[in-house]
Amino acid sequence: MITNVLEYLENSAAKYPEKTAFADPASHCSYQEALQASRSIGSALLPFGQRRRPAAVLIDRDVCSVLAFFGIVFSGNFYVPVDPKLPAERIRQILKTLEPFCILGSEKQLSALTSSLGETGNYPLLSIETALQTEPDEAALEKIRKTHLDTDPLYTIFTSGSTGVPKGVVITHRSVIDLVEQFAVAFDFQSEEVFAGQAPFDFDVSVKDIYNVIRNGCTLEILPQSFFVMPKKLLAYLKERQVTTLIWAVSALSVLATLKVLDKGVEAPLRKILFSGEVMPMKVLSYWRKHLPEAMYVNLYGPTEITCNCTYYIVDREFTELETLPIGKPFPNTEILLLTEKRTEAAPGETGEICVRGTSLAPGYYNNPENTEKAFIQNPLNPYFPEKLYCTGDMGWFDKDGLLHFASRRDSQIKHMGHRIELGEIETVLQSLPFVENGCCIYDTAAGKIVLFYQSRENEDKSILQGLQKHLPKYMCPNRLIHFDRIPMNSHGKIDRARLKREFLTGGETL
């Protein structure tokens, strides 16, 4: 029985030592090299003497980031990918929640971080370049493995939190092992496959790239962000590297459809296209299916807290533009319960909150018991022994064929460009700006824009954007700002969101 994801790496290194495991346009490493490098990094972390503690990794879209992840796992700890391009304030918040025993990154990244964080960034640093030079201490690494449990954490990924503090989801080895074992069967992954990684490593879509690849002895081609504004290069690269498999955010497939990337034909042997993150627009799917009719298309659904995905739907028929794809059926070893407001089971066909049960559940949020208690609850249908459910906040319903459909959100969380965003988090930062008297954010679903309404003495569009950018990643910054001398209020003394929606949002008059 597999209890540690490193066994996947070791097994593939034994079977395919010379085969490329990870590559980016500038570098590549074989399974054997990946294993050696990870052991070196793991050994470089041993002097810290830590177990089951977080180490942050300043990520880039390159091979080194993946090696750093495995190195941390070899050291008996868990990794936390952090995008160094995030605003300093947000990095500071993440580090404060995490108190990592070490931050790994390239020398260049670490010195940039030190200068942007200043004195508040007093965490031990380790450069990946130095760590790679360390002689592996096989005996010490072996000893760590003997006391490992599959319920130990593997990684933590941060997501937007409505109170203004990002939440770190802790995911265990066991959950990731369950995920890739189920994927291998459901999608018939073979060692010949070449994955093209689109998602950044602090986005859990990339977890599927890394672990499906090492489980099955495949190759992961890590794509640079720039390819998505230079689609010709992207297309040439997919062909050159003979990419077969994409596990991508819906938003990335949408971008390529809008840029008409497939119009001139595709020479890469793409066979499997899996997507998640938001509702797939039917015209985007039609575009891909038209140009790559032989490929398998899979709609995946699930939040980070249940380890990437809990349901899937293999597209098996034509859809009209007015239909939406089902999110399908749960993976084996996962159960979906639909709960009503009263926490009873929804009747057949009735809409309820999608709640998940199974080994895929995160133990909770790191250093955050309040939010953990709110989202991970005792199964209300089981009063007899402790058993957790994760409540996704997504509403859904089962059709007569037993396929699950997504209906809506129950709160103000939105999906924007593939990212999960709590509008409350943007509002918290907005209200903290001294020149803002009042304000709120509303998502214009039809236009795909975050619209920010605010009240201040003068127009402060530019200062507000600058203020928000100090705290929030770019994808959370509003796409439209609307200034008021006096923002409309309702009779309860609250901002009149209904009126703002009606007057300012696309198709608002029909709301």
Partner 1 sequence: MKEKVMEILKELRPDVDFESSQTLIDDGILDSFDLVSLIGELTDAFGVDISFDDIEPENFNSADQIAALVKRLEDED
Residue 437 CB, nearest distance to partner 1 (Å)? 20
Contact flag: residue 251 with partner 1 (CB under 8 A): yes
Structure token digits, residue 350: 């009735």
Structure tokens of 246?
């994409």
Which range in 14-22, 227-235, 378-386, 485-493 contacts partner 1 by CB under 8 A?
227-235
Residue window 476-505: x/- pattern of binding to partner 1, with contact defined by CB under 8 A? ---x-x------------------------
Beta pairing partners, 196:
221, 246
Least distance in Å: CB of 255 to partner 1?
5
Q: What is the DSSP letter of 328?
A: B
H runs (alpha helix) in 21-134: 31-45, 63-74, 88-98, 107-117, 128-132
Instruction: Tell me the residue type at 377.
Output: I
C-alpha–C-alpha distance, residues 176 and 306, integer Å = 10
Name which of 428 and 469 has its Cβ closer to partner 1.
469
Of 230, 347, 446, 489, the one binding partner 1 (CB under 8 A) is 230
The answer to the question of residue 260 lying near partner 1 (CB under 8 A) is yes
Q: Among 232, 283, 290, 502, indicate the residue that binds partner 1 (CB under 8 A).
A: 232
The count of residues interacting with partner 1 (CB under 8 A) is: 27
Q: How many CB atoms lie within 10 A of CB 364?
A: 20
Q: Which is nearer to partner 1, 15 or 232 (CB)?
A: 232
Residue 287, both tokens: 């575009």
Supply the angle between the helices 88-98 and 107-117 in degrees, to the nearest 10.
100
User: What gap in Å lies between CA 233 and CA 246, rounded to an integer?
Assistant: 17
How far apart CA 405 and CA 84 sit, in angstroms, is: 36
Q: How far apart are CA 77 and CA 127, in angstroms?
A: 17
Residue 264 binds to partner 1 (criterion: CB under 8 A): yes
Is residue 297 within 8 A of residue 270, CB to CB? The reply is: no
Q: Is 474 in the site for partner 1 (CB under 8 A)?
A: yes
Judged by CB, which is closer to partner 1: 230, or 347?
A: 230
* Three-state DSSP class for residue 431: helix
Among 14, 185, 229, 446, binds partner 1 (CB under 8 A): 229
Q: Does 255 bind partner 1 (CB under 8 A)?
A: yes
Smallest distance, Å, CB 449 to partner 1?
9
Taking CB under 8 A as the criterion, the residue among 27, 466, 490, 506 binding partner 1 is 466
Residue 446 binds to partner 1 (criterion: CB under 8 A):
no
Q: Length of the chain in residues, anyone?
A: 511
Of positions 259, 266, 381, 403, contacts partner 1 by CB under 8 A: 259
| 472 touches partner 1 by CB under 8 A | no
Considering the rule CB under 8 A, would residue 378 count as an interface residue with partner 1? no
Q: Does 460 bind partner 1 (CB under 8 A)?
A: no
User: What is the residue-wise DSSP string for 445-488?
Assistant: TTTTEEEEEEE-SS--HHHHHHHHHTTS-GGGS-SEEEEESS--
What's the rounded Cα separation, in Å, for the pair 50 and 58? 19
Residue with smaller CB distance to partner 1, 46 or 270: 270
Binding range to partner 1, per CB under 8 A, among 20-28, 222-230, 358-366, 502-510: 222-230
* Shortest distance (Å) from residue 164 CB to partner 1: 21
Q: Does 462 bind partner 1 (CB under 8 A)?
A: yes
Binding partner 1 (rule: CB under 8 A), the pick from 120, 258, 378, 459 is 258
CB-wise, 252 or 404, nearer to partner 1? Answer: 252
Binder among 50, 286, 455, 469 for partner 1 (CB under 8 A): 469
User: Between vectors from CA 203 to CA 12 and to CA 21, what angle results, nearest 5°?
Assistant: 20
State the Cα–Cα distance between residues 358 and 484, nearest whole angstrom.
48
- Residue 507's CB is within 10 A of a number of other CB atoms, namely 11
One DSSP character per residue, 135-164 reads PP-HHHHHHHHHT--TTSEEEEEEE--TTS
Least gap, CB of 104 to partner 1 (angstroms)? 23
Interacting residues toward partner 1 by CB under 8 A:
225-226, 228-232, 251-252, 254-255, 258-261, 263-264, 417, 461-462, 465-466, 469, 474-475, 479, 481
